Amino acid sequence: MVKLDHAKKNYSGFSLDCSLETNPGMITGLIGKNGSGKSTTFKAMLGLIALDGGSVDVFGKPVSELDSKDKQRIGVAFADSGFSNYLTMKDIWAILKSTYVDFDEKFFQDKCRQFEIPMKKKLQEFSTGMKARVKVLTALCHNADLLILDEPTVGLDVIARDEVLDLIREYMENHEQCSIMISSHISSDLENLCDDLYMIHDGRVILHEDTDVLLSDYAVIKVSETDYETLDKQYLIKTKKEPFGYCCLTDQKKFYLENYPKIAIQSGTIDDLIIMMNGGELR
Ligand SMILES: Nc1ncnc2c1ncn2[C@@H]1O[C@H](COP(=O)(O)OP(=O)(O)OP(=O)(O)O)[C@@H](O)[C@H]1O
């Protein structure tokens, strides 16, 4: 549904060169630390920045050729809601209704009620959590086929984060053929939500894998210097020198469990993977 093929963007001190794709029926996550290029990637996907190279296709055509009908099929939540802080929820409701042909008024009303979003207060009086819910609701309210959600949970406490993630999950259940691209620097948010994950670092995709595979086949191996010498290194992706010896990342956990029953092998969490992929030496 979206395909970036070496989409390039150069800023002073930063360059993006990103290839990724997301398909119908899938929630695809983009993980990376601050400044790694997540928002720039999303802006490229929406044609909001001029590329310095590569291509971006959405719904099978170049993003620059999307017509207004195509754009109706996209729901977007960016860091900035795009609405003036002087608007009330009632104003926003009217704007959404006149903007989107397929605006789902009942969904919007039900969710505003569920989240106790005040209708007559100005956005500037809303809490961070309230603003985040509004942002996601505006992306989800018009039955879009493609959702692009840039850090929808940023700045939220655990409960608010769960509510937003549940909202996204529920949307996917009700729109089975839709495609969702979501970014976060909080890996646990995406671990339980996404079908596949892209890890981005310094504007480059450094890992792409199905979430299930990441959680089942990847592992962190900790070994002394002596054990490291005898370790079969063919399935190690990264190795980092530590005071105790070496910390290694593998995508073949089973192989090391079967062949080295005595060494410490931990099923990697996504955070472990990020730490290992962002440091250490590639093998
Ligand atoms: N318009 C711009 N002009 C110059 N530099 C920019 C511009 N937009 C982004 N950058 C730089 O590009 C890099 C990537 O920024 P980007 O916002 O894509 O990262 P991010 O992964 O979304 O970060 P965060 O998690 O902090 O939102 C940063 O170094 C940023 O300063």
Tens of pLDDT, residue by residue over 210-242, are: 999 988 899 999 999 999 999 999 999 889 888
Kindly report, residue by residue over 142-158, the tens digit of the pLDDT: 999 999 999 998 888 88
pLDDT tier at 189, thresholds 50, 70, 90: confident
Helix, strand, coil share of the chain (percent; to 5)? 35, 30, 35
Taking the alpha carbons of 94, 96, 100, 106 in that order, is the dihedral positive or negative? Answer: negative
And the tokens for 192?
């339980």
| Non-local CB neighbours of 156 within 8 Å, separated by 6+ positions | 128, 129, 132, 164
Q: Count Cβ atoms below 10 Å from residue 214 Cβ, excluding itself.
A: 22
Whether the per-residue pLDDT at 6 is higher than 90: the answer is yes
| C-alpha 56 chain-centroid distance | 17
CA of 180 to the centre of ligand 1 (A): 22
Q: How far apart are CA 11 and CA 14, in angstroms?
A: 5
Q: Whose CA is closest to atom 10 on ligand 1?
A: 11
And the tokens for 163?
């509510």
CA of 14 to the centre of ligand 1 (A): 8
pLDDT tier at 281, thresholds 50, 70, 90: low
Average pLDDT over residues 52-78: 95
Whether the per-residue pLDDT at 269 is higher than 90: the answer is no
CA of 234 to the centre of ligand 1 (A): 36
Nearest CA to 29 among 177, 162, 152, 158?
Answer: 152
User: Is the CB of residue 185 below 6 angstroms from any atom belonging to ligand 1?
Assistant: yes
All structural domains of the chain: 2-210 (3.40.50.300), 218-282 (no CATH)
Kindly report, residue by residue over 26-63, the tens digit of the pLDDT: 999 999 888 999 999 999 999 999 999 999 999 999 99
User: Is the CB of residue 10 below 6 angstroms from any atom belonging to ligand 1?
Assistant: no
pLDDT tier at 280, thresholds 50, 70, 90: low
